[in-house]
Amino acid sequence: MAEICGVSQIFCCLSKVKPPLVLHNSLLDLLHIYNCFEADLPKTYNEWKHAIRTLFPTIIDTKFLASALQKELQDEGCLDLSLQTLGTFLNSSVPTYKTSFHADMPGWNFRKVKMHLDIARMSFV
């Protein structure tokens, strides 16, 4: 029971501070977290979207960002948008054997994908 209380305290603190959440392909995770720690899921997706954005105004999904760059990534040889493949392709310095690998990777991938977007944007100017 102590672990459950600890997780709900973390959720409560995060929802008060409202940090940007950097995640990877995490729609179902967010639905589950909301349902477990905030309230029952609303009847419609739009109601849930409004509720989750009230809790966390900035949610960044690195898979969504990578999907926006999918053609460019494929042209460079990245054929898979999974968390680990993107991390490896984008030359992340986070070793894959670390316990916290999956927790760290969305942030690293976001940084690298953002760099690709900045470079792509500069090439169109």
Backbone angles phi, psi at 76, to 5 degrees: -90, 0
Please report the pLDDT score of residue 32 as a whole number. Answer: 94
pLDDT digits 0-9 by tens, 61-120: 888 888 888 888 888 888 899 888 888 887 654 455 444 445 555 666 666 666 665 554
Helix (H) or strand (E) holding 120: helix 101-124
Q: What is the rounded CA–CA span in Å between residue 66 and residue 110? A: 9
The stretch 47-63 carries a mean pLDDT of: 93
Domain segments of the chain as ranges: 2-59, 62-124
Backbone angles phi, psi at 9, to 5 degrees: -65, -40
